[in-house]
Chain A
Amino acid sequence: MSHILFEKECQAIFFNNNKKAIQRMLDYDYVCQRKTPSVSAIIHPTATNSFQKFFFGKTEVIIPIYTTLQDAIKHHESSRILINFASFRSAYSTTKEALLSNHFSTISITAEGIPERYTRELNLIAKKRNITLIGPATVGAITPGHFKVGNIGGSLESIINSKLNLQGAAGLVTKSGGLFNELANMIANNSSGIAEGVAIGGDRFPGSSFISHVERMEKNPQIKYIVLLGEVGGTDEYQLIDAYKAKRITKPIIAWCIGTITQYVSSDIQFGHAGANASNESETADSKNQAMREAGFRVPASFNQLPEMIKAVHTRLVAEGEIKPIDPSTDINVPTDYNTAKKQGDIRKETNFICTISDDRGDEAVYAGFPISAVATPETGFSIADVITLLWFKKRYPKWASNFIETIIKTVADHGPAVSGAMNARVTARAGKDLLSCLASGLLTIGPRFGGAIDEAAKQFKAGYADQLSPSEFIENAKRNKQLISGIGHRIKSVRKPDLRVKSLKEYAKKSFPSTDLLNYALEVEKITSAKKETLILNVDGCIGVLMVDLWMGMGYESEQIDDFISSGTLNAFFALGRSIGFIGHILDEKRLNMPMYRHQFDDILYSVEKAQ
């Protein structure tokens, strides 16, 4: 086995698409001037996408995602490291598969809480196959300048501050992942930093022990001394002592074992990690510190004195010429992530969209300031019309107005299968199309001749009334401009056979609206037109159009605001919304009946085709 844990351009396969951790690795790569990203592939069993984009310095790279370990191995033969970010539930099976594949030389396991029997089995398989396991329950390991596992070292800022991008002269081994950074920082503050570091994890049965890493570090000429942070519980430190006494390890070791607190405590409080429990006297922190001190390790009097001790050893090794000063590398700045920079207020960006009606960023989406749960259920007292006015007009309308809007929706919901929109929806359904296509074909039929007269009627009557044209001048005006009066005229209904829909709308408005000025004006016009021809009455489109104008005026909207509503198609929107109910009914009816595809009969078409010139 090599005396370096991670070689310069080594690559890993990463289990679980943990974007943040992977991005941190790639940012580290960039700082270390690696040519290739340290992660070559991602395994994610439930992935639906086949790749993930990451930043690699100032550019972006694509990292492929595989759903099986076998696939990832097949395509990435040279990636011999597995970083397993699987949960404690699946870490055992995924690691076992990886071990048995015989592909990996090093596997790191992040999960905490893997059953001990499973961990011990993994450890045994790894040992037999000479595979280095790091973890479980750890942030991993790092060879500065070459490669780091996942989140080890923390943010880029602390990596730079702790000199974890440069090859120093210390070898660092800890149990705790949380304290690894602390120690790396302490070493950087008091010396040239580390050349390699491993946090073996706080479990009772770690996949690799202190001794295996320290033995490797002994062989690494770059490493001049070793810093060890042990913990109460376990006997790992004694293996080191034996190796030191047998001169298998000769480099200076600075060591401290945490958990001296347990000497004061008579009951079984679990301090820190799962493995931090002494099963007998020799496993206590004090015994281990004492034994290491006696063996010749440099053991401070307390954790507080650890920095001085590191400084002393480093200074001596520099004086002896063992440690050469390292060139401070040229600073390479990784561009700040957009989100980070934004959070820190360092950058701003012009928005492309503005939304003034709803907001989905908080705990619950809101309609014009009202959370959905505050308007949805019956006991909130909000009707569907209230929701419409919140989202269309950013206001909850008074009851008389919202009742009218609901009346419109109900009134225009359907008008039988024969009207062109419904017919188109039905024909489309019979052609086997899906609901949305059928609905679209119905909706696309709505226009100036079918259902679209509401806008135009409102516009014409409103303009005539505003210009103070008398009803007869209004009609003359239209005639002069060769303009049809929208909202006037019906196929069969007449003064004597009134459209009952129109009748009830008028009655409701007269009873409930503050005023119905435009309706009154339109009815004056109707008097003249219907006198000319029985069927030239104010039809349902015209009635809705003028009454909506009355409604808005009654609510105090400015004339210009109402013009804007009309020109933006708001009135047609009532028709489109209401009639969608009917269209969907026709479509569902066709789906239920399952009629064959419709083909129009020949005898209903006049064929008049001449040969083209």
Chain B
Amino acid sequence: MAQSSILEFQCKKMIISHWDQYFSPFRYQFKSILVSSKEELMAEANKISWLKTSPLVVKPDMMFGKRGKHGLVYLKDKQVGDVTLSKAAEWIEHISKAPVTLNSGQNGHITRFIVEPFFHHQESDEYYVSIETKDTDDIIHISLNGGVDIEENWDAVTSISIPVDTNNDDASDLIKETLKKAGKVPPHFLQFIQYLYLFFKDMHFSYIEFNPIIIQKYQVTFLDAVAKLDDTAKFINLGKWQNLEFQESFGMAQVSPEERNIKLLDEESGASLKLTLLNTSAPVWTLVAGGGASVVYADTIASIWGYDALANYGEYSGNPSTEETYIYTKTVLDLMTREKIEQDKVLLIGGAIANFTDVAKTFQGIIQALTEYKDALQSHKVRIYVRRGGPNYKEGLNNIKQTCEQLGLPIKVFGPENHMTEIVAMSKKETAQ
């Protein structure tokens, strides 16, 4: 992975835990809680007094934007700022019940809500700030006209490009000069932007946005926060990120235990092992080596078989051990032999021409798993198509062919002399007959 979204709650929590180091003398009252149900909210209310005494704001915290435009910001029962604890609880219960479809087409259940005290303010106090990473620049965008219509008012946005090799002092100067030229930026806001940029850099954010943010003298209120972290920086920021866990994005099917196991295996291994289930009642299952090749196979299956026929997406690469390949294959075979469907099933063991992965070695793991699942594969009428090249590929292809023939599993194998995705069309054609 690389850029990973984090929750609004996680972002605010990260800010408050580094507040004194980065933002002093500004002040920020961190009053946010994250709950997944009405019951959790009521339990929190026994511990946190403001939940009972303040009017509240409730929003889904699912890493999708434009919640206001989707009617998913609850701050008003009869009039703005009158949401009580019991109303908030009711709303959470109501929203959790049915799946939500966004304008983008993403669809899913809301399972996390951020609850905060309602903050009375004038719309004119709403500022906007975001920082993005683009090629070799960080770009800060600010506007004094924040709020839901920021995109419509993009003309009022001032942007500052800071080359990534700029030192902290120079970056602060650059922000100051640019904003002074733009004029009318309140000095406190300017100072806050300078601090925010250093925080953004040190924490390895790849994107951050506060819209709106309210800065009254030294008092900062974040009414919203959107952020992405560069998760490859985990090894340097382990302490600063404080055991932050990346959450599944909205609309992803509930992660199965099998997907989770492969993820754990991937984290422990020097090799790369990925598995995503798309449709467990689909006929076409894949075991593909390599990140690029896995995409090409997925593309081709979607165009020849149709997207609905694709059961899983995944890859193994980076010279995994025989044992790792065995576990990975076993997981896929187990999943593919659970649901009986009308059609025969197809297993595509694909891959490009490897640079250094030992094909014979990784295939040993696949062969071991195929042998173990022989009966299940036969009862699901699975036909196997193999295409692979790279170090020791002939030995690997020979071994898998012989084993499957002995086991009585229908198999066809091809090396680099055949086009990589030919087996996709072939499997479709032979299934149609």
Contacts and interface: CB of A to CB of B under 8 A. Distances in A.
Interface stretch (B78-86, B295-303, B333-341): B295-303
A96 to B, nearest CB: 10
A270 B417 CA distance: 30
A97 interface: no
Contacts of B136: 120-121, 123-124, 127
Interface in B61-75: none
Contact of A116 (B3, B108, B354): B3
Nearest to A115: B233
A203 B1 CA distance: 10
Contacts of A274: 1-2, 232
Given A88-B232, A154-B354, A176-B291, A303 B299 contact: yes
Given A181-B389, A304-B300, A186 B419 contact: yes
B1 A260 contact: no
A319 interface: no
B353 A158 contact: yes
Contact of B292 (A114, A185, A258, A270): A258
Interface stretch (A261-269, A412-420, A422-430, A573-581): A261-269
Nearest to B205: A117
B416 A161 contact: yes
A56 B315 CA distance: 36
B425 interface: yes
Given A176-B292, A303-B421, A264 B356 contact: no
A439 B272 CA distance: 52
A151 B356 contact: yes
Interface in B256-307: 274, 276, 278, 289-296, 298-300, 302-304, 307
A186 B315 CA distance: 22
A178 B355 contact: yes
B293 A178 contact: yes
A231 B292 contact: yes
A151 B355 contact: yes
Interface size class of B (residues with CB under 8 A): 35 or more
A117 B230 contact: yes
A303 B201 contact: no
A153 interface: yes
A181 B352 contact: yes
Interface stretch (B169-177, B186-194, B247-255, B376-384): B247-255
Contacts of A113: 232
A89 B421 CA distance: 36
Given A127-B136, A304-B421, A271 B298 contact: yes
A301 to B, nearest CB: 9
A269 to B, nearest CB: 5
Contacts of B236: 115
Contacts of A127: 136
Interface stretch (B28-36, B99-107, B117-125): B99-107
A175 B303 CA distance: 22
A277 interface: yes
B299 A179 contact: no
Contact of A260 (B292, B299, B356): B299
A232 B291 CA distance: 13
A259 interface: yes
A117 B201 contact: yes
B22 interface: no
Interface in A170-187: 174-182, 185-186
B295 A154 contact: no
A152 interface: yes
Interface in B216-248: 230, 232-233, 235-236
Nearest to B298: A261
Nearest to A183: B352
B391 interface: yes
B295 A261 contact: yes
Interface in B408-433: 416-417, 419-422, 424-425
Contacts of A510: none
Interface size class of A (residues with CB under 8 A): 35 or more
B206 interface: yes
A315 interface: no
Given A114-B232, A204-B3, A258-B299, A182 B293 contact: yes
Contact of B252 (A88, A176, A267): A267
Contact of A185 (B303, B315, B389): B389
Contacts of B302: 260-261, 264
Contacts of A260: 299, 302-303
Task: Specify which of A176, A267, A302 lies most central, judged by the most chain B CB atoms within 10 Å of its CB.
Answer: A267
A115 B232 contact: yes
Contacts of B289: 178
Q: Is the interface of B mostly helix, strand, loop or mixed?
A: mixed
Interface in A259-313: 259-261, 264-277, 285, 302-304, 307
Contacts of A264: 302, 307
A272 B291 contact: yes
A168 interface: no
A115 B201 CA distance: 12
A530 B104 CA distance: 109
A205 interface: yes
A181 B417 CA distance: 13
A116 B230 contact: yes
A179 B232 contact: no
A139 interface: yes
Task: Specify which of A151, A162, A182, A202 lies most central, judged by the most chain B CB atoms within 10 Å of its CB.
Answer: A182
A281 B276 CA distance: 23
Contacts of A265: 278, 307
Contacts of B112: none
Task: Specify which of A123, A125, A179 lies most central, judged by the most chain B CB atoms within 10 Å of its CB.
Answer: A179
Contacts of A189: 417
A245 interface: no
A155 interface: yes
Nearest to B293: A178
B76 interface: no
A175 B295 CA distance: 12
Contacts of B420: 182, 186, 303
A566 B379 CA distance: 66
Given A231-B295, A272-B295, A302-B300, A182 B352 contact: yes
A139 B298 CA distance: 23
Nearest to A24: B356
A20 B1 CA distance: 28
A592 B353 CA distance: 65
A121 B165 CA distance: 6
B249 A271 contact: no
Given A154-B354, A177-B355, A302 B1 contact: no
A161 B390 CA distance: 11
Interface in A237-273: 258-261, 264-273
Contacts of B232: 88, 113-116, 274
Contacts of B291: 176, 178, 202, 272-273
Given A88-B232, A202-B292, A304-B421, A266 B105 contact: yes
Interface string B1-26: 11100000000000000000000000
A38 to B, nearest CB: 17
A303 B296 contact: yes
A497 to B, nearest CB: 67
Contacts of A120: 133, 135-136, 164
9 contacts: A121-B136, A152-B355, A154-B355, A154-B389, A179-B296, A265-B278, A268-B251, A268-B252, A271-B298
Given A158-B389, A182-B389, A267-B251, 15 more contacts: A88-B232, A115-B230, A121-B165, A154-B391, A174-B292, A178-B290, A189-B417, A202-B292, A260-B302, A265-B307, A266-B107, A271-B298, A272-B291, A303-B299, A304-B300
Interface of A: 20-21, 88-89, 113-117, 120-121, 123-125, 127, 139, 151-155, 158, 161-162, 174-182, 185-186, 189, 202-205, 231-232, 258-261, 264-277, 285, 302-304, 307, 344
Instruction: Kindly list the 8 A-B residue pairs having the minimum CB-CB distance in the complex, ordered from nearest.
Output: A176-B292, A274-B2, A178-B290, A182-B352, A179-B292, A115-B233, A264-B307, A267-B251
